[in-house]
A and B are shown apart, each in its own frame.
Chain A
Amino acid sequence: MKTVAKITFLIWIALWALFTIRPLVKNSYLTQYIALFGHPLNERRAIVYGRNLYSFLEHAKHDMPENATYALKGFEDGSIDVVRAEYYLYPCLKSGDPRFVLTRGKN
């Protein structure tokens, strides 16, 4: 019984080490931590969101009056970029009858 418990624990430790260390390299967590560390929040947001999306949202937010309504074009429906955009642009509100149409092109 004791041996079974010890072997189980050793397997656990091996997998724990593997799945803790592997994402640091495979998912580039380590590179991301180095890139993010010490930077102000907006810079970190630009890194995480992607520079293109972030600068697009920055411009949109800057150019729209507060509480304006908008619609997004050039975004995949339900994608992570859409929810990040809606979150970032708030208090501007997405709307079916928008005052602004924010179009993201390939360039």
Chain B
Amino acid sequence: MIPTALFFILTISAGWGIVSLLEGKRFLSILEKTGFAYGIGMGIISLEAFLGWWAGFTMPISLLYAPWILFTIFYAITHKGPVVKSAESKPRAFSLIEKIVLAAIILELGYAFFRACIYPMESYDSVAIWALKAKAIYLAQGLPLDFFRNPDYITAHLDYPLLIPIQEALFYKLRGIVDDAFVKAIFPMYLAALAAILYGTLRKISSRKISLIFTFLLISVPQFKEHATIGYADIVVAFYYSAGLFAVYRWMLARRAGLLLLSALMSAMAAWTKPEGVYLSILSLCAMILAILMDGQANDKKRMKEITAGISAYLIALAVFVIPWNIFARHIGLTSDLITDATFSPLRAVGNLGRLPTILYEYQKQFFGFKRWNIIWVLFWAVFFVNFKKIFRGKIFILTVSILGAFFIYTAVYIVTPKDFPWHIKRSLSRVLMQILPVVILWLAVMYENWKYGIINK
């Protein structure tokens, strides 16, 4: 228990300084700042460890965290700026419904931590892809090159990026043994961090009661909460992609440049988690460009400046988090068993269009799979079609386009995938849909607020 708590404290402390720097004048609540700090801490420490090991350094764990924590301390001492306070001068007491929903959220999060930590690592991908690599890294005390080059392990997706395996290995290092039960606390922590960021975003547009209810909706979706306990990386991708997009949405409300930088950083970390994170970061980049173009308060010159700065931030962040791993992977000859040169050939895509009915059928199975999704997808599509004329106007446009864009990307991938097709979609669709679920929840919350006030520009 103590090493787990220490791991979280170190990670959040490491990320805190970066969030503070990007935030500038304080406006994030402690809760959402903690959420962002956890995500950033996980990303930067794992990248630092990877680069250090690749360069041949054998670093003690304290050296990995020390520079970032020192920066956090230095920043806190030198920047004691004023806090932007909420409009409510005195916090209102919680109503009964708020207390009940808050209790349900705490119960769900507590249960997720309990469930994650009581089982050792045992689910298919968590063992085959992530934990195996984590064990190899921990035992090698660095990058296990022989393991990476071993063709007998190609099915372990050796070309996948290393955020999760490195963090699991660092946890083992801190713990001193391969404790593959407590290490899974990493995942419900992502769930808690995401809930904190979603709640913080919702509070900018909704009352406390509505914000709590929509946060509860997210963490009570069976598929989502289950995946926060079994050691799969999709919850982590969901966290980074959604937090990046939420930051873009927040930028539309507050227009603080730091939010765009935060968005760039979070999106790049999605790409450092799983290969599909790259597509989602590009989607997030497009959302950011659209958000700036829609900015009615700015003139063309200001817009151009913001777009240039935003694109540069995204490209730099992506370059930092994606390029080193790809160079390393190419250098040691890692290949993908999912993507080949022929995968993206237009001819192949046209030839595979016959897969569309199966793909749509599988989508339908998910949308009506109440056991996995409760009624979230039915609700989403009902609101989508009933309000079709409104969802492409106002700030919600960005969220609508992002959700549809993700559906387009997933569908395109299933059309071109060289894997055994029906098997691939059956095995992965429920997981990739999870990656956009938090954005769908925010979209529904914005639609609810628009309905309530009869407006479409929230």
Contact = CB atoms under 8 A, between A and B. Distances in A.
Interface in B176-223: 179-181, 213, 217, 220, 222
A97 B44 CA distance: 39
A44 B120 contact: yes
A86 interface: yes
Contact of A19 (B147, B222, B448, B452): B222
Given A11-B375, A83-B128, A86-B128, A45 B120 contact: yes
Contacts, number: 71
A1 interface: yes
Question: Chain B, interface size: which category?
Answer: 20 to 34
A75 interface: no
Contacts of B150: 93
A52 interface: no
Nearest to B147: A93
Main secondary structure of the interface of B (DSSP, over half): helix
Nearest to B144: A91
Contact of B181 (A44, A83, A96): A44
Contact of B118 (A11, A19, A44, A93): A44
B278 interface: no
B1 to A, nearest CB: 14
Given A45-B120, A49-B122, A91-B139, 6 more contacts: A37-B118, A41-B181, A86-B128, A90-B132, A90-B135, A96-B152
Contacts of B436: none
Given A16-B374, A41-B179, A84 B379 contact: no
B152 A48 contact: no
B374 A19 contact: yes
28 contacts: A8-B375, A8-B379, A12-B220, A12-B374, A15-B374, A15-B375, A16-B374, A19-B222, A19-B371, A36-B118, A37-B118, A41-B180, A44-B120, A44-B181, A45-B120, A45-B122, A48-B119, A49-B122, A83-B127, A83-B128, A84-B122, A86-B128, A86-B132, A86-B153, A87-B121, A87-B128, A90-B132, A90-B135
Contacts of B114: 33
Contacts of A90: 132, 135-136, 139
A8 B378 CA distance: 11
Size category of the A interface is 20 to 34
